[in-house]
Amino acid sequence: MNDTQTTADPILSIRGVSRRFVSAHGDTLALQATDLSVAENDFITILGPSGCGKSTLLRIVAGLDRPTTGEVTLDGQRITGPGADRGMVFQSYTLFPWLTVRDNVCFGLRERGVPRAQQLEVAQGFIEKVGLTSFEHHYPKQLSGGMQQRTALARALANRPRMLLMDEPFGALDHQTRELMQELLLGIWEAERTTVLFVTHDIDEAVFMGSRVVVMSARPGRIKLDRPVELAHPRHWSVKTTPGFAELKGELMEQVRVEVLAAVENSRVAR
Ligand code: ADP
């Protein structure tokens, strides 16, 4: 059963999107035909076992990869490549090492020909939002991992994208920094309501941040569960201790566990 919600007026539509990788070692069906509708202001977190096609799906939405079948539209326009309407933040630090924090944040604005004074004003606002005001003249190598991801977030937000696409953005951070980053991003989302597609393997993170949680099956991935998160906003970290949080987390743990076991079994059979 494809337990996928239908969204009345989606800004992003993923329809029948599959991806097969062909190589000398054989074919890999990474993603089965997948449908997902994302409404404006949704914060969708995507969970699933390693190798189930989460990054593949996100890369297709980003326009960094093409689907084998199906199509993705943003505001009704078919996605055929990367664009400033989708801001991306990945796990690995992707800042330009030769640019300061401020110039990293200005980068997309400069590319689009925004006048320098306006670039600096916009960058300043987002640098402030992510709490890096006194670090704007620092270079990435002078920053901690958390600060680098704050910069990457400010850089993505500065372009005022229609959507943020985030692939395990806090995956390389230590636990405490990760929790602070979750609160920071959630606070920004609550204020700005940017539409977000967020891949993670962390169930707590998925429930804490998401307005909807999607669970993907073991490879070839498909969406097997799509749940709204009925926890009130503004969400404080202490929501993690509430029965509502525990109940949804329990259900998701069970669903993800089934898929992780299936993925292990698949790789055993394939050996
Ligand atoms: P996830 O993000 O859920 O861990 P991925 O989307 O990275 O999963 O990968 C899904 C499957 O597709 C994996 O089996 C992976 O090895 C395979 N895959 C991903 N990218 C490529 C590629 N460029 N060429 C061949 N196989 C790939």
Whether residues 143 and 174 fall in one domain:
no
Q: Which residue owns the Cα nearest ligand 1 atom 13?
A: 51
Separation CA 43–CA 206 (nearest Å): 10
The pLDDT > 70 percentage for the chain reads 97
To the nearest 10°, report the CA torsion of 264, 266, 269, 271: -70
Whether residues 74 and 194 fall in one domain:
yes
Q: What pLDDT score does 2 carry? A: 45
Indicate whether residue 222 lines ligand 1 (CB < 6 A). no
Give residue for tokens 């300043």: 124
Q: Give domain status of residue 5, yes or no.
A: no
Overall domain count for the chain:
2
Q: 106: exposed, middle or buried (C-beta count within 10 Å: 0-12, 13-18, 19+)?
A: buried
Atom of ligand 1 nearest to the CA of 50: 4
Separation CA 47–CA 188 (nearest Å): 22
pLDDT digit string, tens, across residues 52-85? 999 999 999 999 999 999 999 999 999 999 999 9
Q: What pLDDT score does 8 carry? A: 57
How far does residue 135's CA lie from ligand 1's centre (Å)?
A: 36
Q: What pLDDT score does 93 carry? A: 73
How far does residue 53's CA lie from ligand 1's centre (Å)?
A: 6
Q: Which domain holds residue 229?
A: 10-85+162-270
pLDDT digit string, tens, across residues 98-132? 999 999 999 999 999 999 999 999 999 999 999 99
Q: How confident is the model at residue 202 (pLDDT cuts 50, 70, 90)?
A: very high
Q: What pLDDT score does 92 carry? A: 83
Q: What is the CATH classification number for the domain harbouring 43? A: 3.40.50.300
Separation CA 164–CA 156 (nearest Å): 7
pTM over 0.75: yes
For residue 221, the 8-state DSSP code is B
Whether residues 189 and 108 fall in one domain:
no
Whether residues 151 and 108 fall in one domain:
yes
7 pLDDT more than 70 = no
